[in-house]
Amino acid sequence: MAADSYDDVAKNKESIPELEVAPQDLYHAKSFWTKYIFCQDAKVIGIQYALTAAAIGMVGLVSSWLMRMQIAFPGVIPMDAAAYYQLVTMHGMIMVVYLLTALFLGGFGNFLIPLMVGARDMVFPYVNMVSYWVFFIAVLILGASYFVPGGPTGAGWTLYPPQAITSGTPGGDGLGIVLMLVSLAVFVIGFTMGGLNYVITILQARTRGMTLMRMPLTIWGILTATVLALFAFPALFVAGIMMTLDNMLGTSFFMPAIVQFGERLTYDGGSPILFQHLFWFFGHPEVYIVALPAFGIVSDLISVHARKNIFGYRMMVWAIVIIGALSFIVWAHHMYVAGMNPWFGFFFATTTLIIAVPTAIKVYNWVLTLWRGNIKLTIPMLFSIAFIITFVNGGLTGLFLGNVAVDVPLSDTYFVVAHFHMVMGIAPVLVILGSIYHWFPLITGRFLNERLGRIHFWVTFIGSYSIYFPMHYLGFMGVTRRYFEVFEGDNFTYSITGINQFITVAALITGAAQFLFFYNIIVSSKFGKKAGKNPWKACSLEWQTPDVPPTHGNFGKELPVVYRWPYDFSVPGADEDYITQDTPPSAVANAKAEQT
């Protein structure tokens, strides 16, 4: 530990620092509407976010089912190419933005931030409430695009112009693309309101004794991801506005002179590459917006369920921050084949590979946390271990794709699909599922059903490997992604048909397991086993509330005072194998905690 790691508070252990944060003036709901619908309590807003994200996520899940059916068993579900591309697009956009971003930052962020840093609520509960409802409107706008003439856009989730707004693309000449862009812009506005709240709550409203270096890694992950989002979403916002203008008013920001069906369109002189730069300036940080909260949460899960302090806490924090910073200078590795200057590729390949360093530090630290820990194979732990494995797999293929020379032949094949689904699809989703098993007792006071949970875990874990491992092979075979029909014998070996059918069956089963999970949530919230207070024996503040589930205002009369970091597990000399963050040193005088 470096000398400057301790602040004055930590040095003088028993002293309680003076109160700097004013007691918050809570809004007390008076009617049903203000209590459950336009609620200003961050916990309720978090649940609202999570439920909305899960609802639209189900649309994304069913889209992937339909896509897989078309690829493996064409004709079983009648579908034309346009419908297939619409499914691809909506699946991608829903999963990345409306499910993962909203669930991690809106859902977990809202629920956990005030509880974990020891605040009564977000700093501006009203703005927070508006943030959710703006997000809700964004989801409605997105959903509306299914019902307009021409249907939703089929431009692929990257929405590249010129094809996104030309009439050959589904939804390109209708309202589909416009609704998508407007929905994204509204999402950004809503997120900004929420995101400012998260950042300021973490930076300016912590309880006494909660230094930045005593925050759970979950909070570090969410904080960094939110900062990334606040600086990356403007690119999407501006690109969305400009493409809407291109489409609605006929401006030429992204549209070059172009001939369509033998007819010259009125566009002239725009830059399609500009859109790609803007999109990926948003799109690459977006990967880490999804991944960093997952990194943070999984660190906490592993530490709690292995009864061992997190290995290298400070390194973990700095790794999160460095990954966040680097994520802004790697975006063009998505554009190696877009016709950039090759020197650009050189630069972006270098920065991309540098990211592997802090990421590898994190993976080593997770594994070293497990090492000689008292590993309890609870469901959250199973999901955490599955996450580490999956993330390593996805990360290694990232090294392939980060190198220009290897990326060029693999670009736009199923190898890419397998890579990003492993690393930013399956890996964060495993964390989400694990953390729902972990925090469900805090939200409802009951455990999720153990047996259903174990079935859910094994089907999800083995299922997702059955889906994505063979896809790497398909990619090496040269099977292009986003193809509506893949004919065996034409360009590819006969084996791809069998592989595709195998993947589809696996996808159907894995998807069905998620519906089992939803069933589990609904039933267990009513009939699950009672959990009681702090069932996992965790140290962090969210489990130390006087009421479980925590009520409005979180901590009853007095806010807790924090004396230590959240990872004091198995401290030698202590009576219990954990010391909660709000335990004063005098209460555990014999304990020899090394870190405060």
Contact residues for another protein (CB under 8 A)? 4-5, 7-9, 17-23, 25, 27, 123-124, 126-127, 192, 196-197, 199-200, 203-214, 230-231, 233-235, 237-239, 241-242, 245, 249-253, 256-257, 266, 268-271, 274, 278, 281, 562
* Cis omega (within 30 of 0) for bond into 566: no
Q: At residue 147, what is the residue type?
A: F
User: Based on CB atoms, which residue is closest to another protein, 183 or 247?
Assistant: 247
Shortest CB 150 distance to another protein, Å? 23
Shortest CB 287 distance to another protein, Å? 18
User: Based on CB atoms, which residue is closest to another protein, 24 or 525?
Assistant: 24
User: Based on CB atoms, which residue is closest to another protein, 192 or 500?
Assistant: 192
Owner of token pair 């994520």: 327
Shortest CB 154 distance to another protein, Å? 25
Shortest CB 267 distance to another protein, Å? 9
With CA atoms as reference, report the closest residue to 183 among 130, 254, 236.
236
Shortest CB 551 distance to another protein, Å? 19
User: Based on CB atoms, which residue is closest to another protein, 114 or 154?
Assistant: 114
Distance, in Å, from the CA atom of 206 to the CA atom of 314, rounded to the nearest integer, reads 19
User: Based on CB atoms, which residue is closest to another protein, 260 or 491?
Assistant: 260
User: Based on CB atoms, which residue is closest to another protein, 19 or 523?
Assistant: 19
User: Based on CB atoms, which residue is closest to another protein, 38 or 136?
Assistant: 38
Do residues 443 and 47 make contact, with C-beta atoms less than 8 angstroms apart?
yes
Do residues 103 and 53 make contact, with C-beta atoms less than 8 angstroms apart?
yes
Phi then psi dihedrals of residue 156, to 5 deg: 85, 150
For the record, the structure tokens of 556 come out as 């009853």
> 153 CB contacts (<8 Å, ≥6 apart)?
86, 89, 145, 159, 164, 169, 170, 171, 172, 176, 177, 179, 180
Shortest CB 22 distance to another protein, Å? 5
Shortest CB 7 distance to another protein, Å? 5
Dihedral of CA 85/468/416/52: which sign? Answer: positive
Helices 450-477 and 379-402: angle between axes, nearest 10 degrees: 10
| Bridge partner residues of 446 (DSSP) | 530
> 356 CB contacts (<8 Å, ≥6 apart)?
395, 398, 399, 402
User: Based on CB atoms, which residue is closest to another protein, 18 or 558?
Assistant: 18
Do residues 550 and 560 make contact, with C-beta atoms less than 8 angstroms apart?
no
Shortest CB 389 distance to another protein, Å? 33
